[in-house]
Amino acid sequence: MTTRADTPIWQFRTSKQHMLRWVGWFWLVALSVFCWTLMTEDTIWAFVADAPRQASDIGGRMLPPRWGYLNQLWQPLWDTLNIATLGTLIGVIIAIPVAFLAAGNTTPSRRFVRPVALLVIVTSRSINSLIWALLLVAIIGPGLLAGIVAIGLRSIGFVAKLLYEAIEEIDESQVEAVRSTGASEAQVIDYAIIPQILPAFWGISVFRWDINIRESTILGLVGAGGLGLQLQSSLSTLAWNQVTVIFLVILATVVVSEWVSAKVRRAVL
Amino acid sequence: MLRDVVSPLTYHYQTWQQTVLELEALSKTYKTGDQALTNVSFSVPAGQVVGLIGPSGAGKSSLIRCINRLVEPSSGRIYLGETELTKLSGRALRQARRRIGMIFQEYALVERLTVMENVLSGRLGYVSGWRSFLRRYPKTDIDQAFSLLERVGLGDHYNKRADELSGGQRQRVGIARALEQNPELLLADEPTASLDPKTSRQIMRLIQSVCREMNLPAIINIHDVVLAQNFADRIIGLQAGEVVFDGPPSALTHDVLTRIYGAEDWGQVQQNNESQDDEALFSNAKVLERS
């Protein structure tokens, strides 16, 4: 073995990197302190001090739940489920072509079509369902339809984004193999791409449906139908014992939908 | 200059008559500037199994893929029978691809489809999109798929999903899929690279014997020189995108291997091969020493 006089000294980080990291952390802490002062500027501390008493007061009014109210909730619950399911369906149907246009390996044109598809996805994703619903209630009037369309519009971006990422991650050798048989582009999609993305597709769709059930429970707050409508009227009449019943119904629905989506995802993998 | 050692002209194929594939001055330069192939010319007659050897990055995969145009050649011409493949596009290109079967290194089966669907996908170029979508293939196609699966030794596995099979079985499905095309030419890109030595030999033997039965010419990219010598009728050596050897397997000498792969103690490689307990490997190593 030979030894070298000028053996370099190895360090995990150079002293310059150390310095930079220290300065970085310093500014992060300084920024946090500054933000905290801004946040608490308008806080009335008397109200905060009062919080435990207020909470226990409302808690007291919420209990016991008014179980009789349950009978008025079945119809809105059914509406909520319909909003979520139909909205997801619309979203998924539109998202599929958008995803194929957005995926780098299936888009007909990277320069023109892909940016448009990505814009559709970003637009849909950047606007919350509640805001979509607010807009749509103004445009097509209050009711279930506004809720369904709002959920659908919001779902397009979510489903298309995850789906196009799945399309971009496929094994290209399978595509090559199917193409080498003389298959047309449609057949390549049918035989080489769809089988590879099908588990992801079902997983994404069911996951979105699951999210949509949660979101559609509050759409009624802005007049788009479903349980939210009941929630709003109970809140505005200070009927806290009814609010409890609504919360419990929402909780039960979400638990069931999560169970269903977990089952479906396990079945397709 | 080195070509003079074994000139292609001195190597006559008495038994090979009709030319199936003809490459004329084929070159490929990738957008990155890498010159994968330079002026490659050779022809392959019906029924001949060609082993294409060379170091990694020599352009073997590019050459194979230029033939069925999965990779676009930069210049030169390729003829399959009377058809000039390099001129085709769109539907005509797809129809020409039907005539060329291809086998892949990692099998490239559609993992989530059944064995039968994978084999039938060899007919995609012949059936309409609607029929293939509904998996309603003509009965003759299905009958042929069954007999090919029988031929490659997977008669009972047609309803299994491809990802349930072992590596060797998957490659057999890959072979059946290629043959389901009723091809005029078979291309194989490192068909044994993911397989153990024994399975590799079985797969090579299978490819060789179906080529004999069907008088099907094949170009097989292969890393393993000994396998190439055992199962190919002719060896083409590629080095940095150029053909540096074209001749019978028996002409692969130390000098030739050095020319293709660079300097290495090839005797050592041969000894290593002998230590594998396979008779054919053993006898082949002797052939190498004699030559």
Q: Encode pLDDT of B129-183 as tens digits.
A: 888 898 899 999 999 999 999 888 888 888 889 888 888 899 999 999 999 999 9
pLDDT in tens, A196-206: 999 889 989 98
pLDDT at residue A190 in the model: 92
Distance (Å, whole) CA A249 – CA B19: 77
Domain membership of residue A88 as a residue range:
69-268
Structural domain includes residue A169: yes
Structural domain includes residue A4: no
Would you say residue B5 has pLDDT above 50?
A: no
Tell whether B120 lies on the interface with A, counting CB pairs under 8 A: no
CATH code at position A235 = 1.10.3720.10
Distance (Å, whole) CA B130 – CA B136: 9
CB-count exposure of residue B153 (10 Å: 0-12, 13-18, 19+): middle
Tell whether A126 lies on the interface with B, counting CB pairs under 8 A: no
| CATH classification code of B2-99+191-201+213-290 | 3.40.50.300
Mean of the per-residue pLDDT values for chain A? Answer: 86
CB-count exposure of residue A81 (10 Å: 0-12, 13-18, 19+): buried
Mean pLDDT to the nearest integer, B89-117: 90
Which is nearest to A212 in space by CA: A267, A253, A263, A163? A253
Token reading at A6: 């000028």
User: Where along chain B do its domains lie?
Assistant: 2-99+191-201+213-290, 109-182
Question: Across the interface, do B108 and A181 touch by the CB < 8 Å criterion?
Answer: no
* Long-range contact set of residues B270-277: C-beta below 8 Å, sequence gap at least 24: B273/B226, B276/B197
Would you say residue A185 has pLDDT above 70?
A: yes
Higher pLDDT, B181 or A233: B181
Higher pLDDT, A128 or A163: A163
pLDDT at residue B250 in the model: 86
Element (H, E) at B71: none
Using left for φ > 0, alpha for ψ between -120 and 50, and beta otherwise, residue B42 falls in beta
pLDDT at residue A265 in the model: 79
Tell whether A190 lies on the interface with B, counting CB pairs under 8 A: yes
pLDDT at residue B15 in the model: 56
Interface residue of B110, B137, B187 to substitute, partner A, most A CBs within 10 Å: B110
pLDDT above 90 coverage of chain B, percent: 28
Chains A, B: CB contacts within 8 A come to 81
Tell whether B130 lies on the interface with A, counting CB pairs under 8 A: no
Mean pLDDT to the nearest integer, A64-73: 78
Token reading at B28: 């490929």
Would you say residue B277 has pLDDT above 60?
A: no
Mean of the per-residue pLDDT values for chain B? Answer: 83
Structural domain includes residue A15: no
Whole-model pTM?
Answer: 0.77
Tell whether B100 lies on the interface with A, counting CB pairs under 8 A: yes
Would you say residue B288 has pLDDT above 50?
A: no
Distance (Å, whole) CA B229 – CA A248: 75
- List residues bridging with B167 in a β-sheet: none
Number of domains in chain A: 1
Question: Across the interface, do A182 and B133 touch by the CB < 8 Å criterion?
Answer: no
Strands B19-29 and B75-80: antiparallel
Tell whether A57 lies on the interface with B, counting CB pairs under 8 A: no
pLDDT at residue A45 in the model: 80
Q: Which of B104, B125, B129 sits opposite A182 (nearest CB)?
A: B125
pLDDT at residue B272 in the model: 42
> At B22, phi and psi to the nearest 5?
-135, 120
pLDDT at residue A257 in the model: 87
DSSP result, B46-67:
TT-EEEEE--TTSSHHHHHHHH
Distance (Å, whole) CA B86 – CA B99: 14
Q: What pLDDT band is residue A23 in, cutting at 50, 70 and 90?
A: very high
